[in-house]
Amino acid sequence: MDQYAVIGNPIEHSKSPQIHALFARQTGQDLEYRALLAPLDDFAGTLRDFLATGLGVNITVPFKEQAWSLVDQHTPAAERAGAVNTIQRLPDGTLLGDNTDGKGLVRDIEVNNQLPLKGLRILLVGAGGAARGVIQPLLAAGPEQLCVVNRTVSKAEELATLFADLGPISAAGFEWIEEPVDLIINATSASLGGSVPAISTHLIKPGHTVCYDMMYAKAPTAFNRWAAEHDAARCIDGLGMLVEQAAEAFLLWRGVRPETQAVLEALR
């Protein structure tokens, strides 16, 4: 049976095995997908050992940037993102690294949540690997403006410079802007600790601004609770992004893209 896995630390919370089992059943694919815990000091060894026989892996925190340096070639998405969340072992044994996070985010927003990004003013909160991984697909969707905001402004400015050739992107500090926007995307991990980035409540136009947290949990995240308290039009979590990026990985590996709606409903 063809072998696939997700590698991370921690990993026991991962929904990826359940997602890919549902994908495989739906598409009639014969495969096994499991979760692997990698030691923080030996991700490379875990990856090498699995791919001696396995055909592909997903990479989750904190190894995406390290994975980028361990593959033989990158897709354009991974090259820009500077991080790899999907690896395919090619027939000649070389490793192809991809980043499906941005595609998953955009598809969840535009298809699952029926919110076209073209012409929107978007605020992307955070300037770490999660933010960098989604900028290219967001700009490709044609927003009026994508502003990266971060506590350390220089990091946001680095990203704005890096992606300036792809579309209208700018950078700012948390306290710099208060003008309402159409969409706020939280790319920080603050919600995992129950906190909210220190952005102005004036960025939310009541009944209009949509807020999206790339994190997800059983209950609404801290960011989405904050957004709801300030009358955001909609508050969306990252579970749909997780399923959609998984579908993109499945497509790379198996040549077929599964239907995601039934899987997302099952997870909910």
Residue pLDDT, tens place only, 81-120: 999 999 999 999 999 999 999 999 999 999 999 999 999 9
Sheet holding 2-8, edge to edge: 31-37, 2-8, 56-59, 86-89, 95-98, 73-74
**Helices vs strands, H then E, count in the chain:** 10, 12
Q: Tell whether residue 9 is among the known ligand binding residues.
A: no
Q: Tell whether residue 126 is among the known ligand binding residues.
A: yes
Backbone phi, then psi, for 28, in 5-degree steps? 70, 30
At the top level of CATH, the class of 102-237 is alpha beta
pLDDT attached to residue 218: 86
Q: Is the pLDDT of residue 128 over 90?
A: no
The neighbouring-strand residues paired with 148 are 124, 171
Q: Is the pLDDT of residue 190 over 90?
A: no
Concerning whether 218 is annotated as a catalytic residue, the answer is: no
Are 35 and 14 a contacting pair, CB within 8 Å?
yes
The residue to which tokens 């815990």 are assigned: 37
State whether CATH 3.40.50.10860 applies to domain 2-99+244-267. Answer: yes
Q: Is the pLDDT of residue 180 over 90?
A: yes
Q: What percent of the chain has pLDDT over 90?
A: 91
Q: What is the mean pLDDT of the chain?
A: 96
pTM for the full predicted model: 0.93
Backbone phi, then psi, for 99, in 5-degree steps? -130, 110
Marked catalytic residue, from 64, 103, 118, 205: 64
pLDDT bracket for residue 209 (50, 70, 90):
very high
Distance CA 57, CA 249 (A): 9
What integer is the mean pLDDT of 225-244? 97
Q: Tell whether residue 214 is among the known ligand binding residues.
A: yes
What integer is the mean pLDDT of 37-57? 98
| Residue ranges per structural domain of the chain | 2-99+244-267, 102-237
Q: Tell whether residue 245 is among the known ligand binding residues.
A: yes
Q: Tell whether residue 101 is among the known ligand binding residues.
A: yes
DSSP 217-240: -SSPPHHHHHHHHTT-SEEE-THH
Q: What percent of the chain has pLDDT over 70?
A: 100
**Residue 197: half-sphere exposure toward Cβ, Cα within 13 Å:** 26
Q: Do the domains spanning 2-99+244-267 and 102-237 agree at the CATH topology level?
A: yes
144 Cβ contact list (under 8 Å, min separation 6): 119, 120, 121, 168
Distance CA 235, CA 76 (A): 31
